Amino acid sequence: MNTNRWITTATAAATLLMAAGAAQALTVAKRQAATGGPLLSNACSFADGATDATLTGCLSTNPNRTVTLTSDESIDYAPGDRLRVRGAEGDYSRLAITVDDRSMKKLVMNLDATSNGYISFSDGVSTSKLFRLKGDGNNFFTIRGPFDTLTYTTFSDRLGTESDLIHDTRQVRFALAPAIPAIPEPTTYALMLAGLGVVGYLIRRRREHDAA
């Protein structure tokens, strides 16, 4: 492969990688996703009896994988067969969800709203449009990432008037992103530097050949 073709190929690969990264933005759909993936569970010993603005739980498939939930109001776990994160002293308007040491590539939830209104979702970088909330107790959402933390906020109108509309958040399912690779070994860095050196050498040779 000649120098120009090699450089063109490398540039195209880098462009594709950048495009792939840019495509991984927050997307929200108001629908119930296909079943599958671990559920939020309060079966962890450290979650029993907790009532606070911040709660911890775990994944139903891994009691050692901590899930942190933070609200603007005091929240607790409602009793019953299906886990529900409810307002301990009334409804709430915000909830942030984080999984310890892992990013989420998909998050599914059903929101029990007490009255009609609106909701938006944020991953800390981008914020979704406003979606309608129905006050009939069933509002399914599927949010795709990847993202480290997902936060929703509810409003009484399209002007952005924040309002406590959520009685509980239920049926929360997770699809986790792959674990971040470990820091490369020194030999990997050496190979990378060597590759960059070869590219620089080929570019210099090409310039010398053109100038001759």
Q: 52-60, long-range: CB within 8 Å, 24+ apart, which pairs?
A: 55/85, 57/83, 59/99, 59/174
Same domain for 80 and 41: yes
Cα Rg for the chain, rounded, in angstroms?
24
Same domain for 101 and 54: yes
Same domain for 197 and 162: no
- For residue 6, pLDDT over 90 is answered with no
Same domain for 109 and 43: yes
Residue 16 in any domain: the answer is: no
3-class SS at 139?
coil
Number of domains the chain contains: 2
Mean pLDDT of 38-58: 76
Which are the contacts of 111, defined by CB distance < 8 A and separation ≥ 6?
A: 119, 133, 139, 141, 152, 166, 168, 169, 170
Same domain for 83 and 69: yes
Same domain for 209 and 153: no
Residue 5 in any domain: the answer is: no
* Residue ranges making up the domain that contains 124: 23-176
* pLDDT tens per residue, range 128-169: 999 999 998 789 999 999 999 999 999 999 999 999 999 999
Reported pTM: 0.72
Same domain for 212 and 160: no
Residue 93 in any domain: the answer is: yes
